[in-house]
């Protein structure tokens, strides 16, 4: 089992690395070259850099993952692809993507995109809070315990 992180905008990278290290599970951060950092060089953490294209990180993650791996992303499209490969897919705000919720999430994304395309304003995501981080920390730990 490996953990793959859609890392460009992920606010819980340090939490992921810390908890994964406790479980001795390798972490791969996938991010664009525009987010290059020497801080990513840590034991048990591999960083894979990709071009800055819109879905470059998603495509690379899908090339790397195998059944039973964990993906952490806020991208519903990547989550859907990960579920089809029988991966466990988590959102950094502390919920698990499932076959039961992914269709509704993709539909809401589509409806909002169409509204924006027609000139309407839609609300963006709510700000990431310390409660979200705590919820994610608990979910990630429980997920690793269950999958071990």
How many other CB atoms sit within 10 Å of the CB of residue 30?
A: 25
Q: Is pLDDT at 77 greater than 70 in this prediction?
A: yes
40 pLDDT above the threshold of 70: no
Question: Which helix (H) or strand (E) element contains residue 66?
Answer: none
Distance CA 73, CA 82 (A): 10
Q: What is the SS3 assignment for 103?
A: helix
H or E element: which one contains 84? helix 76-84
Angle at 47 between CA 84 and CA 137, to 5 degrees: 65
Q: Is the dihedral of CA 58, 59, 62, 63 positive or negative?
A: negative
Which candidate, 71, 148, 130, 138, places its Cα nearest to that of 102? Answer: 71
Mean pLDDT of 65-92: 95
The pLDDT assigned to 88 comes to 98
Taking CB atoms within 8 Å and a gap of at least 24, the contacts of 138-141 are 138/94, 139/90, 139/94, 139/95, 139/96, 140/12, 140/15, 140/16, 140/19, 140/72, 140/90, 141/19
32: pLDDT confidence band, cut at 50, 70 and 90? confident
| pLDDT band with cut points at 50, 70 and 90 for residue 93 | very high
Per-residue CA distances from 20 to 16, 28, 112 (Å): 6, 11, 35
Alpha-carbon span 122 to 101, nearest angstrom: 21
The answer to whether residue 92 scores a pLDDT higher than 90 is: yes
User: What pLDDT shows up at residue 8?
Assistant: 86
Q: 16 falls in which pLDDT band (50, 70, 90)?
A: very high
Domains present along the chain, CATH in parentheses: 3-147 (3.40.50)
- Answer with the residue of higher pLDDT: 2 or 44: 2
Q: Is the pLDDT of residue 59 over 90?
A: yes
17-23 mean pLDDT:
96
């Amino acid at each position: 089992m490996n953990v793959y992180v859609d890392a460009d905008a992920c606010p819980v990278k340090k939490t992921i690395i810390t908890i994964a290290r406790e479980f001795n599970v390798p972490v791969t951060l996938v991010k664009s070259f525009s987010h290059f950092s020497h801080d990513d060089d840590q034991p048990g953490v591999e960083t894979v850099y990709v071009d800055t294209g819109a879905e470059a990180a998603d495509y690379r993650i899908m090339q790397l993952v195998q059944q039973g791996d964990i993906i952490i992303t806020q991208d519903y499209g990547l989550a859907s692809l990960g579920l089809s490969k029988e991966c466990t897919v988590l959102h950094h705000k502390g919920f698990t993507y499932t076959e039961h919720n992914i269709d509704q999430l993709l539909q809401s994304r589509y409806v909002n995109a169409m509204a924006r395309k027609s000139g309407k304003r839609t609300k963006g995501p709510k700000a990431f809070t310390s409660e979200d981080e705590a919820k994610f920390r608990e979910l990630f730990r429980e997920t690793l315990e269950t999958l071990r």
